[in-house]
Every structure is written in structure tokens, then in C-alpha cells.
Amino acid sequence: MSIRAIHRAGSHDLLVDLDSLDAVLALNATLEAAPLPGQRDLLAAAQTVLLKFDSGQNAERAMAALPELEVASAIHAAGKLVEVPVHYDGEDLAAVAELAGMSIEAVISVHATQKWRAVFGGFAPGFAYLLGENQKLNVPRRDSPRTKVPAGAVALAGEYSAVYPRQSPGGWQLIGHTDLQMWDLHRENPALIQPQDTVQFIPATERLSVSQAPAARDEEPEQAHSGGLKIIDAGLQSLLQDAGRIGYGNLGVGVAGAADPAAYSQANRLVGNPAGHAVIENLGSRITVEACEDQVLAHTGAQAQLWITPAPDDQHRTERQVASNAPFALLHGERLSMEPVGQGLRSYLAVRGEITLSPVLGSLSTDTLSGLGPDPLVPGSVIPVKQPSIGHIVGNPQPSTLPVPDEQGIYRLRIMAGPRTEWFGPQGLRQLADQLWDVTSESNRVGIRLSTGEQRLERILSGELSSEGVARGSLQVPPSGLPVLFLADHPVTGGYPVIATVIAEDLSAAAQLPPGSKIRFVLQSPAVQPAT
């Protein structure tokens, strides 16, 4: 195995550069069969493998162990044959013909007469990168990506072809569409095309209609009890979130999970829940819930006032205020209303017990980018809760986990250089750390879009970066020169260089910064270890 370099991708993850696709597939197969200590996930791409670990210590150990790892030669496993009927009517078909120097008919023939091998997944659940038998249709991405590519679109970019599993942004060249459902959670294997499968595109004889149905969700089980919480006012955005989906990177499935892991974990501890239970994540700290049977709750995260109003038929109680970062009772029929009063962006509301909805790929997290997980909460939603067994003790009040700015109102986030600092050089890295960055209103759970009144980042390398796995906390820099800080729902792969990565310990702070916040990045350590 020829490792060219091992890059730190933040404090917990590694990006391994290899010299061939066969080397990528061999390392991926080896680490799938025998994971390294603390390995949580891995994601193969054209020239890299992204490895995610549970701690910085295990990432450090893996960095030392990888060059000595015994890896067998790449074995092209015999996957299944998937036939994909295509109506060749894509908006970019004529442009592809011009770029390839052939007629439209020849483009269709070249695409449909060769077999394509699914070499790795990424970008979105069910999205597979397909490598053809020849390079005749090697065309660049569009100069200007589309904001909406329809589900079922058949596309080309570089040496790869792919089918978009759902509507999403995309910069690939569209040559046709299919009505096959590429991702379906009701199948035993949700992804129709998986790594090592062979794909044969077949020209359709009739016009196909592409299904625009959203990603399938598991049916919620019928509840034998009415205990839980009812949503009266969901505020700006209220979602169920837990620790996320671990181990599905090669299927294009991101982790998602709570945007602020520290506040999320604290909320569960306060109500006596085991780590990993689902809670309500609310944007803007404005929500009203009603108790169905007596419940114990705790609020953490963004600062808010919490008021409890008694049930309409309760003449013995009056409105009362309860404290954040401490457990409190919400009796049957009572309503809890939250109002924002200070710092922070996201609130977490935990209820003692287990939320008994059906998980999707092992998690109740709602992924706003891919659409996986439960629907966002709306007025009338009922969250069923199973009360815990005896012995789950509620916690004592705890200090807030919110980040604190310095005297100038600036928030400091620690970063590690890389994995693609060379695209910007030492000057670009110094510029990133020396100037102030503003959080824009376009930010969300996918990422924080940054702006600056100073100089934008400029690349010193030209060309395109092959799509590769990206870590949570990555500062990806598009051609605009304005970084995007990836949060919980970020895409699993990206095609823009990542100049630096926020360390895992500061990601909770990043998730709590509202638009208008000012950030200074503080460089921690080098990120690249040459292979030995």
C-alpha cells in the first residue's frame, strides 16, 4: 500500500492520501474488516480514505499505526448487476457532447454500452460514484452548480457517472434521468447501488416519469400509552436529535445528531437518562410543550426564560418559573413555554425516559440535509415517552455550557491546519487566523457561512480537488474565498479544499453562535505527517 500522506482532519479524524484507487479500496476493505482501536467510521473516495475516531488519542495512535498496516491487494468483490433504464434528455447533454468532441448519439452510446463499477459512495445517501470502462466521457463539472438537481438525474463529472437519489444541489453535468428509487429505507439494503456493484445503463424506449417522493421513513409504532409531550408551538425549528448515525459513511449517510453535543449530553444527564437518548433541539429558544401524564424535563443550551402554566382545570396551581440547567417536573396538562433572553442559538429539552419512535438506521436524529429521520416537529406532534425503570436518578443543577466571548465580544474557536492547507499556503493560513470572521444569516445545521470585512482567502493552487470525505468542523473554502464551517448535517464528501478544521472540543461553541457573531480562529498545531 502506498500512503502518500496522513493529514489531521481536526482533533479526532484523519484523511489518508493514497496513490491509486486500488490502494483506496484495499485500505477501506482492510479497515472495514479489522477496524483500528476507536475507529467509528470510514469513507473511501477517489484518492483518499477519511477515518473517524472516538478520541484524539486514538487518532494519534492510528496516525502512527497506518504506515505499518498490512494491507492486501485490492480485491474487486463481485457485487450485483444493477440495470438502470435512462431517458437521455438531460439539460447538459449537448454541452457534454461538445466537451467530449462527439455527437449526442455517440454520448448516449458510449454511456450505455460500457459497464460502470460502483467504487465508493458519498455526497448523499444512495449516491454512488460509478467508474466506467473507458475515459471517453471524462468531462468537468459545471462552472456554476445548480441549486436543485431533480431526483433520478443521471449525471457525469470527471471520470465518474452517478444517479442523484433525491433532489439536491449539484454541479455535475446532467445527461438524463431514471425513475428507479436509488434510496429506500424499506429495502433490506436501502441503497440500490452499493460499492462493488456493476451498473448497466439502458436507453429507455418510453419517457419515464421521475418520482419526487421524499426519502421513505419507517412507520411510527402504535403507542399503548399516552405518556409524553405534545407540541403546542414548535418555534422556528424543533427537531429530535440524539448522538447520530455512526458507521454509514460509505453509503453517503452523515452522522447528524445534536448540533451542540455538550448541551445535549448535559440535558440527558440532568433528567437521569443514559447517554445517547433523543431530546428536542430547538432553534431560537421559543417553544411550548404540554405534558401528557407527569414528566421530568431539563432545559440546556441557549439562555431562555421557562414558564409553566397549570392545566385549565387545575385551580390550585399558578404560573411558575423554573430554572435552566436543572431538572423540573411538568405535571399532566401543564404547559412549558420558553422565551429567549440572552446568549446562544440552540436549546435542548430532555424528557426523563425513552422516546419510543422508530429509529432510522439506528437513530432518531433528523438530518436536514439528507431528509433522514423523523419529520420536524409541528404543532400537534406528540412525542411518546416510556418511563424509565427505577434507579435512573435525576441530576443536580449544573453550570451552563454556553461559550463566553472575550472582552471585545469575540468568540475564539481553536483550529488545526489542514487537511488541504497547501491550496492556500502559509499566508492563507495566517490570514485565516489573523482576521475576524462574521457569522452570516445563511447559516444552519449544515454549516456556518462566514463573511469578512477584510481580505477573502485566495488559492495558490489551480484545478479541481477530487471529492473526498470531510469531517465535522471542516472550514471548506469555495471559489468565493469565504469559508463554510461544517456542522452536524454537513455532506459526507466535498469538492472544495478544507484549509483547517475546528477541533471537536469547540464544535459545541460553534453551534451556539447566532448571525452577527464575530469569530477569531486560533491555530493549534501542524496537521500533516508524511508517510514513512
pLDDT in tens, 387-421: 887 767 899 999 999 999 999 999 999 999 999 99
Question: Quick one: pLDDT band at residue 97, thresholds 50, 70, 90?
Answer: very high
* Closest to 521 in 3D by CA, of 442, 443, 446, 457: 457
- Tell me the pLDDT band of 72, cut-offs 50, 70 and 90: confident
When the pLDDT of each residue in the chain is averaged and rounded to a whole number, the result is 92
Pick from 532, 526, 531: which is nearest to 422 by CA? 526
Q: Retrieve residue 22's grid coordinates.
A: 486500488
Please state the pTM of the whole predicted model: 0.89
Rounded Cα distance between 370 and 159, Å, is 25
All cell numbers assigned to 345: 442559538
Asked if 296 and 327 touch (Cβ cutoff 8 Å), the reply is yes
Number of C-beta neighbours around residue 55 at 10 A: 14
Residue 530 clears pLDDT 60, i.e. is over it: no
Q: How far is CA 443 from CA 168, 427, 438, 496, 511, in A?
A: 17, 27, 11, 18, 10
pLDDT in tens, 441-477: 999 999 999 999 999 999 999 888 888 999 999 999 9
CB 443 within 8 A of CB 510: no
CB environment 495-526: b (16+ within 10 A), e (fewer): bbbbbbbbbbbbbbbbbbbbeebbbbbebbee
Closest by Cα among 156, 154, 161 to 176: 154
- Cis amide leading into 419 (omega within 30): yes
From 42-46, 156-160, 215-219, 486-490, the region with the lowest mean pLDDT: 215-219
Region 91-114: mean pLDDT is 97
Residues 231 and 331: their CA atoms lie apart, in Å, by 15
Dump pLDDT digits (tens) for 307-363. 999 988 877 888 999 999 999 999 999 999 999 999 999 999 999 999 999 999 999
Confidence class for position 79, pLDDT limits 50, 70, 90? confident
Between CA 140 and CA 159 the distance in angstroms is: 9
What is the rounded CA–CA span in Å between residue 81 and residue 464? Answer: 31
How confident is the model at residue 73, as a pLDDT? 65
Contacts of 527 (CB under 8 A, 6+ apart): 7, 8, 9, 416, 417, 418, 419, 421, 500, 501
Tell me the C-alpha distance between 474 and 450, whole Å.
13
What does residue 101 show for φ and ψ, rounded to 5 degrees?
70, 40
Beta pairing partners, 130: 118, 161
Helix (H) or strand (E) holding 427: helix 425-434
Q: What is the dihedral of CA 372, 373, 378, 383, to 10 degrees?
A: 180
- pLDDT band for position 214 (50/70/90)? very low
